[in-house]
């Protein structure tokens, strides 16, 4: 097992994110994606955690399966909303006992369709502290380049992001479509005295409807220039795919040229877009 903090100290990282499947068909799709992406030699991979703990066991099982049955280093996502402190301690202790050393600590949002308690912890920084109490984990947090939709001001967002990072080893950003948002975030954090790695999150816009929906959910901009390019070919799914992958590749190259410490791909449990971008960027297998 390898800590992500150690991986990042050695240079650029290239990581993939997955989510726990809910059906047999979705499980097969994920299994195929893992088979196709493992040869790229990602620095690490992460597995999401459903709102309110809705994928608690599936997340745990997938993370442990990746640890024991693949060559990839896994990281477990964990949210504190709708959980008691005792429940969170149990989850983290199980990861520690299973040999997992990497956790992404998130505040999380309770599912809108379930009447769940708010939870005893309210912020990701509290969860990061709890994780540290349980064991010697490498801990990451999330960052919003644009910024977080609930932040009253950009200045406030950067201040609290810096505070979160002071309790973590690194951050992974929500996806975005213009590099200027990422570089603004990094420069703002440096001005606040924080220089820990901030990994940009990449989501190729290969489906107009889904990318708009996800952008709205996370409170990020879906820029007009990208919408125009996609809508110009919206009657041709293959052309939409091509635009999405090409623009994501261009963004990745701009980020790497600007000094980003790596890339984090939101795969949606599928491999083609990530593999195409890898090839277009000239990344070799085992690029980490």
So which residues are the catalytic ones? 17
- Token output for 153: 């001001």
State the virtual CA torsion across 13, 134, 57, 176 in degrees, nearest 10.
Answer: -30
Q: What is the largest CA-CA distance in the chain?
A: 53
Q: What gap in Å lies between CA 7 and CA 72, rounded to an integer?
A: 12
Is 48 within 8 Å of 77 (Cβ atoms)?
A: yes
Is 251 within 8 Å of 259 (Cβ atoms)?
A: no
- The strand pairing partners of 140, in sequence order, are 104, 170
Q: What gap in Å lies between CA 139 and CA 159, rounded to an integer?
A: 19
């Amino acid at each position: 097992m390898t800590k992500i903090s150690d991986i990042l100290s050695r240079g650029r990282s290239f990581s993939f994110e997955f989510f726990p499947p809910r059906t047999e068909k979705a499980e097969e799709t994920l299994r195929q994606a893992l088979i196709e992406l493992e040869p790229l030699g990602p620095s690490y991979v992460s597995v999401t955690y459903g709102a309110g703990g809705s994928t608690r066991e599936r997340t745990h099982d997938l993370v442990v399966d990746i640890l024991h049955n693949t060559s990839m280093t896994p990281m477990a996502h964990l949210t504190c909303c709708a959980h008691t402190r005792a429940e969170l301690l149990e989850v983290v202790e199980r990861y520690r006992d299973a040999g997992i050393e990497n956790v992404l600590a998130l505040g999380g949002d309770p599912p809108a369709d379930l009447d769940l308690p708010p939870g005893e912890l309210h912020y990701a920084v509290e969860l990061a502290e709890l994780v540290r109490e349980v064991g010697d984990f490498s801990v990451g947090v999330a960052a919003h380049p644009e910024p977080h939709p609930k932040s009253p001001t950009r200045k406030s967002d950067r201040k609290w992001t810096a505070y979160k990072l002071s309790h973590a080893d690194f951050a992974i950003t929500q996806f975005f479509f213009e590099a200027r948002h990422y570089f603004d975030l990094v420069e703002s954090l440096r001005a606040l005295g924080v220089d820990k790695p901030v990994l940009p999150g990449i989501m190729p816009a290969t489906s107009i409807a889904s990318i708009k929906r996800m952008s709205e959910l996370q409170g990020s901009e879906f820029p007009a220039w990208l919408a125009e390019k996609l809508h110009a070919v919206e009657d041709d799914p293959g052309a939409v795919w091509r635009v999405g992958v090409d623009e994501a590749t261009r963004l990745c190259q701009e980020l790497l040229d600007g000094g980003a410490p790596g890339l984090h791909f939101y795969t949606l449990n599928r491999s083609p877009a990530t593999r195409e971008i890898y090839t277009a960027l000239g990344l070799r297998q085992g690029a980490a």
